[in-house]
Chains A and B, each alone.
Chain A
Amino acid sequence: MEAEKREIDVRGRKVALVEAGSGPPLVYLHGFADLHGVAGNLQPFHEGLAQNHRLLAPAHPGCNGSGDFLQGNRVDDFLFHYCEVFDALKLDRFALAGHCVGGWLAAEYAVRHPERVTQLALIGATGLFVAGEHIGDIFMNSNPDHGTSLATLRHMLFASQDAAQALRYYPDGRGDLDEEMRRYGMLRFGSAIGFRPPYLYNRSLVDRLYRAGMPAVVVWGAEDHMVPVSHSRAYAKHLGHSTLQLIAGAGHAAHLEKPGEVLAALQPFLNS
């Protein structure tokens, strides 16, 4: 698929963007094991999203060529960053999808500007506090065990730490330098937005979810080892109009592990 990579200027901040496909606009906000979070280019899942949409996938501040996070260190700072990104892209109403931290930001945007979001799709989204069901510590697991092993990080992000995608993007020892730097940029962004308590969540979000009255779909790997499946039920319960789909045999990066199944859950919804 033809994908265009470009940079846009948002009030003096550089934002890297991948754009593909045509049709109604669909904004995709990425997570850790994802485009921009480790991969430099569109994966089969993202190409699937661009089949019937104009896919716009900006890289978070500090990630994959976007400028560093500047003044931001709270979810609100990044939310306003995206308000300005969407304005710069002249997007009025659009479908909004996100994975992991990107899903969190998508939900935060949807509760503030429900009038601009036509459909909301969340995949393994962080953002909620569920008592006793903690989001895993991606930071501690990102430091190698025994000097070189990333097995526990792969386990956190994928159903199986031996999965081809897991070993491809999170190999033991030293990976591809550009991928290492993308991972590092994503961890810096993750640290800024969610290292302190709340750990990748906003306690206020759950009581605001009712405001996101647009149709929503919540898709989750049934074996997500980072964001417990209970979080998917909490999102589905509190969002205005949502359905929940669990992907059997998939982990936190369900969209990389089982792109066909995740697309099958999303496409009818996005195309309707």
Chain B
Amino acid sequence: MSQPVRLFCWHFMSYPHVPADFDDKYETAWITVPNRLWDRDKSKGLLNGYIDQLAYADTLGFDGMVLNEHHQNIYGLMPSPNIIAAALTQKTSVGKIVVLANLLPLHGNPLRVAEEYAMLDNMSNGRVIAGLAPGGGQETFNYNTPAAIQREQFWEAVDLIEQAWTREGPFTFEGKHYPLRYVNPWPQPQQRPHPQIWIPGSQSRETMRQCARRGHCYFLSSRVHGGAIAKARQEFSKILDDAGSKYDPFRMGILMSAYVSETDEQARVESHEGIWYFLKNCLKGHLRNFQGRSLTFGPGVPNVDPADYRRMLENTKPGRAMLGDVDDWDALTKAQSILVGSPDTVYRQIIDLVRETEVGNLLIQFHMGNMRDDLARKSMRLFATKVAPRLRDESRVVFAPHFQELAEPA
């Protein structure tokens, strides 16, 4: 029997209190969104409430909790996810703590990231999954990381972190961007040889090649439908083959959002406000093309190799719709990124995706936009009790023919 899918609860920790006319009045939710909109009174306890939701996920039996790093925006209030992770080490005891990710070019020196992950790994009794990422377009503006050398800087930083965890110190790191005479971090991570490293990518082959070569888990961060995920997964499989490695469902992760309620109808009614707040407010400046200015990708963020950029121009039309451009539930359902419905509906959508893609790490956002705490918890609870068991059982069957040799998770 194969391992079942691993189900992670992702929290973005969005800012839930922008005014109702935000989309009409403000050009973007990122970088230049005026921070006078931060309401000190309403925001009391906000982050702690979000942390408690993640602790609740741990009691519900999720395989882990996922955090991410974003800056100067309303989409995610975790400029330093390691601080939230530190809180989770004290409030949870079972699930993995997945920090996806620390954005390496934004940190003065990646040695600091190696040190903080090592601390978290010790504080959590070896539960850390260490995400490493270069940062998207917004972060080049937020932290002045020159896009043209962002990737090169990033992979050098990954080298430094891996070596800091595996090479006997002290040693000298002869980097171009991060030369260090003395690398010798204390503490070392608890997990041996080191915490799993996950690297997010948005279908770039270069990122897949590096993950294949280095043995990391590839996390597809794009909000794309099943067909595109399957295509990325096929590409990654081939790249793994070429690297002398082999695909298994846990070499890859995907992102989705879900809201579960008793019935399809009730799920839509309850999640409506939070989802549309997320789509129209949080995604403005990110995954919305028809309104505002998306800074996630594009010529102003020239971090893509020119040959790849040319291929992208040849294969896409300008101004195509993105997730935040959907205008009704039908379009949202078609986009296959936010799954809303009864336990049975959500189960069927996810298991279809698992069959189509054979991806084993499912990272699921439950709290969206300004969703109320009780609704987010209800959705998580229904998922954990009525969707997750079926997914685990059936995914074993799905994976078994191809991945029988997989051991039970540690």
- Cβ-defined contact, B149 with A177, below 8 A: no
Contact of B306 among A138, A146, A147, A184 (CB under 8 A): A184
A144 neighbours in B (Cβ, 8 Å): 293, 298, 318-319
- Cβ-defined contact, A173 with B318, below 8 A: yes
Residue B294 at the chain A interface, CB threshold 8 Å: yes
- Cβ-defined contact, B309 with A184, below 8 A: yes
C-alpha gap A69/B306 in the complex (Å) = 12
A7 neighbours in B (Cβ, 8 Å): none
C-alpha gap A146/B146 in the complex (Å) = 24
- Cβ-defined contact, A148 with B318, below 8 A: yes
> Which residue of the partner chain A has the closest CB to B305?
A68
- Cβ-defined contact, B313 with A146, below 8 A: no
Residue among A185, A191, A196 facing the most chain B CB atoms (10 A cut-off)? A191
Residue B193 at the chain A interface, CB threshold 8 Å: no
B314 neighbours in A (Cβ, 8 Å): 177
A173 neighbours in B (Cβ, 8 Å): 318-319
Residue B299 at the chain A interface, CB threshold 8 Å: yes
Within 8 A of A (CB), among B124-156: 137, 140-141, 144-149
Total chain B interface residues with beta-carbon distance under 8 A: 30
- Known contacts: A173-B319, A181-B306. The answer to whether A139 contacts B301 by CB under 8 A is yes
Give min CB distance, A241 to chain B, whole Å. 35
Residue among A73, A181, A187, A188 facing the most chain B CB atoms (10 A cut-off)? A188
Q: What is the 8 Å Cβ interface bit string for chain A, positions 29-66, against chain B (1 contact, 0 not)? A: 00000000000000000000000000000000010000
C-alpha gap A137/B313 in the complex (Å) = 23
Give min CB distance, A167 to chain B, whole Å. 15
- Cβ-defined contact, B299 with A143, below 8 A: yes
- Cβ-defined contact, B313 with A141, below 8 A: no
C-alpha gap A252/B257 in the complex (Å) = 46
Within 8 A of A (CB), among B306-335: 306, 309-310, 313-314, 317-320
- Cβ-defined contact, A143 with B290, below 8 A: no
- Known contacts: A181-B309, A195-B144. The answer to whether A146 contacts B290 by CB under 8 A is yes
- Cβ-defined contact, A174 with B313, below 8 A: yes
Q: Residues of B with Cβ closer than 8 Å to A?
A: 137, 140-141, 144-149, 289-295, 298-302, 306, 309-310, 313-314, 317-320
27 contacting pairs across A/B (C-beta < 8 A): A73-B149, A139-B140, A139-B147, A139-B300, A140-B295, A140-B300, A143-B293, A144-B298, A144-B319, A145-B292, A146-B289, A147-B289, A148-B319, A173-B319, A177-B314, A181-B306, A181-B309, A181-B310, A183-B299, A184-B302, A184-B306, A187-B300, A188-B147, A188-B302, A195-B140, A195-B147, A197-B144
